[in-house]
Structure 1
Amino acid sequence: MHCKALHLSSSQYALLLAHCQTPVNKTMEERMGRGVPLFVEPERPEEVVERIVYLLENVKDIQRILLENLLKKHGDCEYLEKYKKDGKIDVQTFRERVPLITYEDIQRDIQRTAQRGKHANILCCEEPVHFHQSGGTSGGKLKMLPVTGSARETLVEYFVMIDAWFHMKSTVKRTSAGGIGMTFFFGGDCLKTPGGHDLLLVSSWFVRQSMSAYRQTPERFASPLEVILCRDFAQSVYCQLLCGLIRSAEVAMMSSLIISVLATAVTFLQENWEELCNDISTGKLSARITDQKVRRAVSQILHTPDPELAAKIRAECSKDTWAGILTRLWPNLRFISGICTGSLLQFVDHFEFFTDHKVPVVCLVYGSSEGAIGMNPYPDAHPNDITYVFLPQMGYFEFRNIRDSSVVDISDVVVGEDYEFIMTNLSGLWRYKMADVLKCVGYIHSSPEFKFLGRENTLVNVAQEIVHEYEMTLAVESAAKLHLFAGAHLMGYTTTVNVKSFPGHYVVFWELQIEHSSAEGEHQEELEQCCLAIENSLNEKYRADRNMGTIAPLEINLVKPGSFSNLMQQAQATRCSTQLKQTRTYKPDHPAVQFLYSAAQHKFRSSKALTL
């Protein structure tokens, strides 16, 4: 559908902007109460799609008006007050005086906001309605981020747009009509800030936003709501798998916010399928489930013994290979959904293996704890080809060129250049460095189209070299694809440095799944080639230092199966998000590094000289 771009006055664009943040046909309260944004298709999705196209055609003007309105609304807050010129702050002053910041720069301001409660007016002039806690994916650090009412309404509207676009543009979506979903979302805890606001993970907000939809249409989901809301991660995932297996013929979709959570669920299935089969065979729930609400809810599904189904599951799970296991256990599975770009791309290979390349992986959203950002305009695209466009009413977006550090707004990015994304959101984050590295690959209407490359976080260096997280991520994943021996699949990895030895060196922890009975130690040559390939993919400074001997050869440590799943469960137990992405880089003194060293079974390195 194409909408002709119109030339409107500033006041008309302001009205358009207000309209874009207003729900379609229903009041926000009605729609939030019904849970529409997350699981119920919009009543008139074609109208929402038309609006999205209009937004993409008028990005520059909408962004300008959004920033003008934000500065007008919040110009008297404590944070912006110090950057005013002649007592005022306009767009030009904002660009000239307000600095680019990281979380650490405003952490104390956020803490003060959380402590003060109402009328803080520190970072903005709108009171937070709650706080999000990040999932610890930025180097393992947890962050607390305010969410205003305006931001919450925009986030709700964002999911309406995503659902409408998927409904109208996806062939995959239409093939799954009539089936049920295994949705691996977890409610988690809701804490309180000193000022009395709710503090919860984004995934927890997501689930709570969806509760009405669960209650109104429980037939669309494999698990009862009590299972989703269970605070114990292991009990929740066990029961979600159990319910999904019992209703296996009906399952058409598996989803989670982040694809790594689904990978954790598959690992959990590998470790616990015999116990699950016993429950199905006897019709009795395992004693490991101690949450009484969960037991009562699951008993409504596990109400009679089914030894025939249990025997089928045993037969599939006990085979020598788990290739195609998901389509063998869930024969009507049509698609898998979850964020899977950047460092999460490795999990796509897992699910292509687990589905025997028969089921597509769909990635729709580009968002973060800081706010909703953009969407995938081609929902049926393979994850390797996924790109994103930014929705201009979600925040004010700027981009720092990786090559020369110049900062431009969204309408001035150049095709082919790499950028760090900078966000001004609706909750008081001003020119906030997201550390996401994006490549502009083209334009859709007047909106740039970006490919997500990874994170710009710098690893702890050994000899004053600079290796960025996204650089290491690309190197590791490329080496695994090109040089891993047949039948081996990379299930998880992370990187650190060893500076206790001299000279220091980089350490990459790998977890492999091997289809056949061969041991990792039998493939020393291939794994040493992987080490060499990773190093040859890093920057010239690293390669020169390595050849000079100021950096020792990189080391791959192979950890025992299930190590990364156990690491994620430990993170959940210490209140990192159950939707946790695998952190790609750790400082050497981080507890996760010590855990992975203890799980290491084999070490490999190559002493060959690197290519310069």
Structure 2
Amino acid sequence: MPVMNLYVPGLDKGKGLYFLFIKAETKTPSGLVARPVLTSYYKSQQFKTRPYDPYNVYTSPNETILCVDSFQSMYSQMLCGLMYREEVLRCGAVFASGLVRAIKFLQVNWEELALDIETGNLSDKITDSSVRECISKILKPDPDLARFVREECCEGNWEGIITRIWPNTKYLDVIVTGAMAQYIPILDYYSGNLPKTCTMYASSECYFGLNLTPMVKPSEVCYTIMPNMGYFEFIPHDPSNPVTISRDSPPKLLDLADLELGKEYELVISTYSGLCRYRVGDILQVKGFHNSAPQFKFIRRKNVLLSIDADKTDENELQSAVENASELLKKFNTTVVEYTSYGDTKTIPGHYVIYWELLVKDPSNGPTADVLDQCCLAMEEALNSVYRQSRVADNSIGPLEIRIVQNGTFEELMDYAISRGASINQYKVPRCVSFTPIMELLDSRVVSVHFSPSAPHWTSERRF
């Protein structure tokens, strides 16, 4: 906040509309509680009894943040945000996907929210007693505000909706680097191109650094490492010549003082809480220096193919999921010839899309649409617990989709790549695509579309 106040003065004169949520806790076999770092913080006394700070006043009462039911939490936080709309100076969520989900929630539920504001009575859908109690203290009948909400939402025009409903908003406080960059266009649409500030670089394991120039474009964001947060080391990373690391050939580790401008590195940390030389999995590039401290641009998560929210799916996991689903095709004498994927964020919530090319050896006994729907579910069952929790408990990821393409589609894909200069000897089918012409080619060859018929299995009883 001291950094933000240099660029946006007066942030102590209003409130922040932040959509913050906790996730369900899990337990290890020995009974220890396991939970995400932000859930741990929000449930701690440090958060619940934090001293008053005029620079960090939220529209959402603690009780709305601590409600484990995602619908009730979102509904009550949005309601409070509408009631305090003229006091809101900044809007945000942890990830860009969270803020997009909040606006989509408003699109679906604005009529009931307006009714609550008009009557001063909270919807019966909110059953959490602590949420009802805290909202009852601030919800009063306000017909004028209810009329305003209806006028802004009834025509279905959502362009600039953030600045129309919260007119004093100065910026969006969301992470839009890395995989979250895919949400920049929709946030620009909703906010009328408000600045998007990526204020910090952190993970569950450690806080790493600050963005000392928070008002720059997302593509220009750099983070300055704070060396007092842990001990930071770096493995040189060359995409064209990956390093093989084994017990017999440990990597060469560099200190902060040894890094070079323009080079890429994999981050390794040792923390006060006991992690020793832990590989975070982030690839960073040195873009400059603040005094002598390197400033990094986040390049990508190492080996991550797909990410919609907090989920991270790598190539090996995607391959295992495809193999798991392929078992359902064996009785139909059918196999998956090739596949690729992408994360579709045009829908809210976003979801995984998998393109399959099938070899059906007996066309008279090929897999039915119901079987292919079950293949979607089988893939989801094989993905990690973070993905399945996001699907089941958090509703932050939509049902997985499989698109069946015509035979020969992936040969066309190779021909296209070769026409652009790829080597026919070294060509490999990309397991994740984002290049528009390739996606247009794939979509033009789709013969059927299938979705998971139900949510995958997920339980808070985690087995390690």
CA distance in 1, matches of 2:41, 2:66: 11
Q: Is residue 2:275 matched to residue 1:429?
A: yes
The one of 133, 148, 164 aligned to 1:328: 164
Structure 1 match to 2:203? 368
- Offset at 1:300? 1.6
- 1:499-510 pair list within 5 angstroms: 500=326, 501-510=335-344
Which residue of the partner structure matches residue 609 of structure 1? Answer: 416
Q: What is the CA distance between 1:248 and its match in structure 2?
A: 1.0
Hey, what does 2:292 align to over in structure 1? 446
Q: RMSD of the TM alignment (CA)?
A: 3.6
Question: Does the 8 Å CA contact 1:279/1:286 hold for their aligned counterparts?
Answer: yes
Distance 1:494 1:349 in 2: 23
Q: In the alignment, is the contact (CA less than 8 A) between 1:493 and 1:511 conserved in 2?
A: no
Match of 2:176 among 302, 320, 340: 340
Distance 1:193 1:440, change over 3 A: same
Query: Does the CA contact (< 8 Å) of 2:12 and 2:54 recur in 1?
Result: no
1:307 is displaced (CA, Å) by 2.8
Which letter maps to 1:372?
Y
Shift of 1:347: 2.2
In the other structure, the counterpart of 1:275 is 112
Matched residue type, 1:302? L
Q: Partners in 2 of 1:429 and 1:568 — Cα distance?
A: 21
Does the 8 Å CA contact 1:184/1:256 hold for their aligned counterparts?
Answer: yes
Matched residue of 1:416: which SS?
coil
Mapped partners of 1:278, 1:601: distance in 2: 44
| AA aligned opposite 1:381 | V
1:165-244 alignment runs, 5 A limit? 165-167=3-5, 170-172=6-8, 174-188=9-23, 199-207=34-42, 208=44, 209-213=46-50, 220-244=57-81
Aligned 1:518-529 pairs, distance under 5 A:
none
- How many angstroms does 1:193 deviate by? 6.2
Taking the aligned partners of 2:136 and 2:301, their CA distance within structure 1 comes to 44
Instruction: Flag the 1:354–1:220 CA change in 2: closer, same or farther, 3 A.
Output: same
CA distance in 2: counterparts of 1:508 and 1:228, whole angstroms: 31
Q: Partners in 1 of 2:155 and 2:189 — Cα distance? A: 15
1:382 CA drift (Å): 2.1
Partner Cα separation in structure 2 for residue 512 and residue 348 of structure 1: 12
Matches within 5 A, 1:260-409: 260-304=97-141, 306-357=142-193, 359-403=194-238, 405=243, 406-409=252-255
Gaps of 5+ in 1: 1-162, 459-468, 477-491, 515-530, 532-558, 560-566, 583-591
Instruction: Report SS of the residue matched to 2:75.
Output: helix
Find 2:389's aligned residue among 556, 571, 575.
Answer: 571
Deviations 1:380-437 (A, max 9, x none): 2222211011111211111112225343222112211111111111222221111101
Could you tell me how far apart the structure 2 residues matched to 1:602 and 1:328 are? 43
Q: Is the 8 A contact 1:203 1:257 kept in 2?
A: no
Q: Cα deviations across residues 114-168 of structure 1 (Å, max 9, x unaligned)?
A: xxxxxxxxxxxxxxxxxxxxxxxxxxxxxxxxxxxxxxxxxxxxxxxxx33333x
3-state SS of paired residue (2:167): coil
Query: In the aligned structure 1, how far is the partner of 2:136 from the partner of 2:101?
Result: 25
1:410 corresponds to? 256
3-state DSSP of counterpart to 1:316: helix
- Using the alignment, how far apart are the partners of 1:387 and 1:429 within structure 2? 25
- 1:569–1:324 Cα change, 3 Å: farther
The 2-side partners of 1:447 and 1:493 are apart by: 29
Q: Closer, same or farther in 2 for the Cα pair 1:493/1:401, shift >3 Å?
A: closer
**Deviations for 1:486-512, whole angstroms, at most 9, x for unmatched residues?**
xxxxxx998956565553121224242
State the Cα distance separating 1:206 from its structure 2 match. 2.9
Aligned CA distance change for structure 1 residues 259 and 572 (closer, same or farther; 3 Å): same
Name the structure, 1 or 2, with higher relative contact order (CA <8 Å, separation 6+): 1
Q: Which has the higher strand share?
A: 2
Pair 1:415–1:248, CA change in 2 (3 A) = same
What residue is the counterpart of 1:81 in the other structure?
none
Q: 1:455 aligns with which of 292, 301, 304?
A: 301
Matches within 5 A, 1:442-591: 442-457=288-303, 469=305, 496=318, 500=326, 501-512=335-346, 571-572=389-390
CA distance in 2, matches of 1:568, 1:286: 31
Secondary structure, counterpart of 1:271 in structure 2: helix
The residue type paired with residue 266 of structure 1 is I
1:597 matched to 2:401: yes
Question: Contact 2:12–2:56 (CA<8 Å) still a contact in 1?
Answer: no
Q: Report the Cα distance in structure 2 between the residues aligned to 1:325 and 1:274, rounded to whole angstroms.
A: 15
The answer to whether the 8 A contact 1:410-1:447 is kept is yes
Which residue type is aligned with residue 226 of structure 2?
L
Equivalent residues of 1:494, 1:509 under 8 A apart: no
1:596 Cα deviation after fit: 1.3
The structure with the greater share of residues assigned to helix is 1
SS at match of 1:278: helix
Q: CA deviation at 1:219?
A: 10
Indicate how the Cα distance of structure 1 residues 332 and 352 shifts in structure 2: closer, same or farther if over 3 A, else same: same
Residue 380 of structure 2 aligns with which residue? none
In 2, the alpha carbon distance for the partners of 1:299 and 1:263 equals 27
Q: Which amino acid aligns with 1:166?
A: M
For 2:297, the aligned partner's letter is K
Q: CA deviation at 1:212?
A: 2.1
After TM superposition, give the deviation of residue 569 of structure 1 in Å.
10
> CA 1:216–1:362 in 2, change beyond 3 Å: closer, same or farther?
closer
Question: Aligned pair in 2 of structure 1 residues 238, 213: CA closer, same or farther (>3 Å)?
Answer: same
* Shift, 1:187, TM fit: 4.1
Distance 1:303 1:573, change over 3 A: farther
- Could you tell me which residue of structure 2 aligns to residue 488 of structure 1? none
> Could you tell me the TM-score, scaled by structure 2's length?
0.66
601 and 294 in structure 1: CA distance in 2 versus 1, 3 angstrom threshold:
farther
SS of the counterpart of 1:213?
coil
The answer on whether the counterparts of 2:89 and 2:168 sit within 8 Å (CA) in structure 1 is yes
Could you tell me how far apart the structure 1 residues matched to 2:105 and 2:161 are?
A: 13
Provide the secondary structure at the position in 2 that maps to 1:350: helix
Length, aligned pairs only: 351
The structural deviation recorded for 1:331 is: 1.0
**Separation in 2, partners of 1:265, 1:206:** 22
CA contact (8 A) 1:416 1:439 kept: yes
Partners of 1:314 and 1:380 lie apart in 2 by: 33
